[in-house]
Amino acid sequence: MITFASIADQLAGQVIELPSWAFGNSGTRFKVFGTPGTPRTIQEKLADAAKVNELTGLAPKVALHIPWDKVDDYAALRAYAADLGVALGTVNSNTFQDDIYKFGSLTHVDESVRRKAIEHHLECIEVMDQTGSRDLKIWLADGTNYAGQGDIRGRQDRLADSLQQIYDRIGEDQRLVLEYKFFEPAFYHMDVPDWGTSYVQVSALGERATVCLDTGHHAPGTNIEFIVAQLLRLGKLGSFDFNSRYYADDDLIVGSADPFQLFRILFEVVRGGGFGPDSDVAFMLDQCHNVEDKIPGQIRSVLNVQEMMARALLVDRDALLAAQEAGDVLGANGILMDAFYTDVRPELAKWRQSRGLPADPMKAYAESGYQTKINTERVGGHQAGWGA
């Protein structure tokens, strides 16, 4: 039987990267909601992220989005983050907001548009060089809305050429991570719609190109843990973007819609060697807090990942394998379910206290006065949000 005490040391190494944009204003297609205390600068975003890490001990890295988080001096930004107790993580590119990308970016038929998109990614690599970031994450809005609108094969060829030019500039200690999404904003076809397309493209580039799996970027009913297992088996799972969804790319708090799915995903991560000091798989949140407060939303998110990771580590894998090989269908399922139904929250509270963290980070934040403080101080200026 696996006990919590036997997995406690493994939990100590868990790192969940926070997205800077989660601290800005966001909303639906119809409305972006402003809230008091919203950061106006990347420095204020970093301060909020540092508060999450201070209370949870789980989030020592913050992902940047360029140009939303663009500054004149990235070395100074790196030092500022370090003073707050966090590091700058993944650099995310943006080729989905400029008018010139209406009909595509890295796949565009016009070479000058592709060149602009490639140069943007080269700029992102320069940011990585200055911030010490390892990963360049690329998500493309490229695609078409109508049959015949574009040459599907030609777009794949142009994508491969564009990615190769970007990859050739990646440093020896850096990675290119290609995300996928099965629909939206294009509805007939996306140029990188699924893990297979992403895998094919990054495999052609080289060892330092991997796939990013966003848990909200799949058709309903997709067995995401199978994709996780396959990519780990192939050595091409680079990172996660964790969120939750009911219908499409809802970007809700991870584990809120289907905690059992999150458990199953994390079990396959553990089973496939994707968690621990020898793994290069990066864990990041990618969420938008539309109606809930942003900092508590991020705290709740990292705690959900921690809780489900603890449950995944509690699976008795030797007993599970024995049941599987014996053809014991319900016995194998029961072993998995026993771990999922284990309430690890009391043990996690004690674990946090033993490390000088609050037993209940959500309660600690509510009592800290931090939200009142930033509501008072962050008056005037331009609040950060989508496109800012």
User: Does residue 68 sit within a domain?
Assistant: yes
Nearest-CA neighbor of 41 among 68, 15, 62, 80?
Answer: 68
Share of the chain above pLDDT 90, in %: 96
pLDDT of residue 268: 98
Q: Model confidence over 304-326: pLDDT tens digits?
A: 999 999 999 999 999 999 999 99
**Residue 28: what pLDDT?**
79
- At 9, give phi and psi (nearest 5°): -65, -35
Is-contact 225 270, C-beta < 8 A?
no
Give the distance, in angstroms, between the CA of residue 250 and the centroid of all CA atoms in the same chain: 14
Q: Do the domain assignments include residue 8? A: no
Which CATH number is 260's domain given?
A: 3.20.20.150
State the sign of the Cα–Cα–Cα–Cα dihedral 125, 127, 133, 138: negative
In the predicted model, is pLDDT for residue 30 greater than 90?
no
* Residue 43 to residue 332: CA distance in whole angstroms: 49
> What are the φ/ψ torsions at residue 193 (nearest 5 degrees)?
-90, -15
Decide if 263 is inside a domain. yes
Q: Cα–chain-centroid distance for residue 76?
A: 25
Mean pLDDT value across residues 281-303: 96
Q: Note the pLDDT of residue 341.
A: 98
CA distance 321 to 325: 6
**Averaged pLDDT, 196-208:** 98
Taking 90 as the threshold, does the pLDDT of residue 33 lie above it?
Answer: no
Residue range(s) defining the domain that contains residue 52 = 14-377
Does 168 fall in a domain? Answer: yes
SS3 60: coil
Structural domain includes residue 105: yes
Q: What percent of the chain has pLDDT over 70?
A: 99
pLDDT > 80? residue 179: yes
Euclidean distance between CA atoms 182 and 178, whole angstroms: 13
Does residue 117 form part of some domain? yes
**Are the CB atoms for 349 and 306 separated by under 8 Å?**
no
Whether the predicted pLDDT of 128 surpasses 60: yes
pLDDT band at 387; cut points 50, 70, 90: low
Distance CA 50, CA 23 (A): 12
| pLDDT greater than 60 at residue 252 | yes
- State yes or no: pLDDT of 285 exceeds 90: yes
Mean pLDDT taken over the chain: 97
Say if 320 falls within a structural domain. Answer: yes
If you average pLDDT over residues 135-158, what whole number do you get? 98
Name the pLDDT band for 385 (thresholds 50, 70, 90): confident
What's the pLDDT tens digit per position in 217-237? 999 999 999 999 999 999 999
Query: Could you tell me if 285 and 254 are in contact, meaning their C-beta atoms sit under 8 angstroms apart?
Result: yes
Structure tokens at 310: 């603890």
Cα 257 off chain centre by: 17
What is the mean pLDDT of the segment spanning 102-125? 98
Triad 227, 125, 239: Cα angle to 5°? 20
User: Do 238 and 281 contact (CB within 8 A), yes or no?
Assistant: yes
48 — pLDDT class (breaks 50, 70, 90): very high
**Residue 216, Cβ neighbours under 10 Å: how many?**
22
Is 3 part of any domain? Answer: no
Question: What average pLDDT does the segment 145-172 reach?
Answer: 98
As for how many domains the chain has, the answer is: 1
- Vertex 271: Cα angle to 267 and 277 (nearest 5): 100
Task: Using the structure block, give the residue that is written with the tokens 């621990």.
Answer: 276
pLDDT at 351 over 90: yes
